[in-house]
Amino acid sequence: MNTPSNLKYAKSDEWFDPATGTVGISDYAQNQLSDIVFVEILVEEGEEVTVGKAIASVESVKASSEIYAPAAGKVSAVNKGLSDKPETLNSDPYGEGWMIKIESGQAGEVMDASEYEKYCEGRSH
């Protein structure tokens, strides 16, 4: 499992980069979903989001899932290219697969990489 140590992780499998405000889904999440075939970002630039607000909807060949904001703040950017290439979430969840950026993002309940890895290991048994 790829879990970059500079990011923070929510129990609902989103990641948050406190340095840039970038948000996406974790490698664990994309792996559980399998082949992602559809992504819809539900928020717009300039919109205020709160921790736990649905920011995106993702569908795979196995399931559909809501993606929630792991931080609160103003949406400063939306990755509009994901709807055209949803498979990017499978191949590059921490790079080109980012979903939104939150300006002055205040993280909710998040874990560091090692805590998140232990949390995921506990779920897979």
Query: Residues 55-65: pLDDT tens digits?
Result: 999 999 988 99
Strands of the 64-68 sheet, one edge to the other: 36-41, 54-60, 64-68
Of the candidates 99, 93, 67, the residue with the CA atom closest to the CA atom of residue 81: 99
Average pLDDT value over all residues in the chain: 95
C-alpha to C-alpha distances, 123 to 30, 39, 119, 120, nearest whole angstrom:
15, 25, 7, 5
User: Considering the chain, what percentage of its residues have pLDDT values greater than 70?
Assistant: 98
Residue whose tokens read 């992780």: 9
Q: Mind listing the domains of the chain with CATH numbers?
A: 8-113 (2.40.50.100)
Q: pLDDT, tens digit, for every residue of 15-34? A: 999 999 999 999 999 999 99
